[in-house]
Amino acid sequence: MISQHWSRDWLLYLLPNAGPSGADAKEYDMKVQHLLLGLAASSLLGSVAVASRPAENGRSSLELKEFMGHVMQRNAEQVWAWTALEIDKDGERYTRPQNDQDWENAESDALTLQELTYSLRNSRAIAVRDPRWVEHIDRVRVAARQSADAAERKDFQALLLAANALNDACVSCHLAFAPQLEGGIPAYPGT
Ligand code: HEC
């Protein structure tokens, strides 16, 4: 936390060689005071609050439910939107990337999802010890990578396959760790 305890010496300790000596020192002290006042004010606004939470160590603390509902789902929907099946009175058709910009965007959406798998894997808040957990995350990553590759090649069939593989990857992890989301695991016939 920023507090009145900050002193010029403390700042000079942080910024070696930063302070002048002799005649310029007084003016420098005033500048330091202004700086400290500015820092104190900004700490009131909360903009330096992160400095007081170094324990996160650069890793996410977003809870799993929030990550899934707000981050994973939203980004997967963007990927799936490029291969959505539309049905109306004129028949069925896929919404598909129409031009170079669309293909670029489809690739960006897939790469965003791919990167999110690293976020999930390295989260501080979500630490599941079961080894299948990581395998399921990897499966999402592979599907996202395939989607990005397909978009780069402008290969719609491959994009479609990757979208299905992505869906399978989400569903299979849910079946393993949150079966209620997918309507439960189907009962074995005869049981
Ligand atoms: C590594 C396992 C795993 C993978 C992969 C996974 N999920 Fe999940 N997901 C879970 C678990 C576990 C929950 C239940 C979280 C809870 O309720 O605390 C969940 C919950 C959800 C929820 C419900 C969130 C809420 O608000 O209740 C959505 C939506 C979701 N996941 C979407 C996805 C999508 C889309 C994908 C694939 C792109 C995906 N998930 C991949 C494990 C996974």
Give the chain's length: 191
Distance 185 CA to ligand 1 centre (A): 15
Which residue, judged by its Cα, is nearest atom 15 of ligand 1?
65
Distance 119 CA to ligand 1 centre (A): 14
Give pTM, 2 decimals.
0.74
What stretch of H or E contains 160?
Answer: helix 156-177
- What pLDDT, on the 0 to 100 scale, is given for residue 115? 97
Distance 160 CA to ligand 1 centre (A): 21
Q: Are residues 74 and 45 in the same domain?
A: no
User: Beta partners for 91?
Assistant: 88
Angstrom distance (rounded) from CA 177 to CA 131:
12
Residue 190, domain member (yes or no): no
Q: Are residues 108 and 146 in the same domain?
A: yes
Q: Are residues 40 and 90 in the same domain?
A: no
- Tens-of-pLDDT digits for all 191 residues of the chain? 334 443 444 343 344 444 455 555 555 555 545 544 444 444 444 444 444 445 567 888 889 999 999 999 999 999 999 999 999 999 999 999 999 999 999 999 999 999 999 999 988 888 888 999 999 999 999 999 999 999 999 999 999 999 999 999 999 999 999 998 888 666 676 65
Q: What angle do CA 84, 86, 88 make, to 5 degrees?
A: 175
User: Beta partners for 87?
Assistant: 92
User: Could you identify the atom of ligand 1 that is nearest to the CA of residue 144?
Assistant: 38
Residue 130, domain member (yes or no): yes
Q: Is 132 in the pocket of ligand 1 (CB under 6 A)?
A: no
Q: Are residues 48 and 113 in the same domain?
A: no
Q: Are residues 12 and 83 in the same domain?
A: no
Q: Are residues 48 and 70 in the same domain?
A: no
Angstrom distance (rounded) from CA 146 to CA 46:
42
Q: Is 80 in the pocket of ligand 1 (CB under 6 A)?
A: no
State the chain's maximal CA–CA distance in angstroms.
93
Distance 39 CA to ligand 1 centre (A): 40
Residue 117, domain member (yes or no): yes
Q: Are residues 158 and 85 in the same domain?
A: yes
Q: Are residues 69 and 153 in the same domain?
A: yes
Q: What are phi and psi of 189, to 5 degrees?
A: -55, 135
Q: Are residues 101 and 37 in the same domain?
A: no
Domain interval for residue 36 = 8-52
Classified as helix, coil or strand, 143 is helix
Residue 76, domain member (yes or no): yes
Report the number of distinct structural domains present in the chain. Answer: 2
Q: What is the DSSP string of 80-114?
A: HHTT-EEEETTEEEE----SHHHHHHHHHHHHHHH
Classified as helix, coil or strand, 136 is helix
Q: Are residues 168 and 100 in the same domain?
A: yes
Angstrom distance (rounded) from CA 95 to CA 84:
5
Distance 60 CA to ligand 1 centre (A): 16
- What pLDDT, on the 0 to 100 scale, is given for residue 182? 87
Residue 138, domain member (yes or no): yes
Using CB atoms within 10 A of its CB, is residue 30 exposed (0-12), middle (13-18) or buried (19+)?
exposed
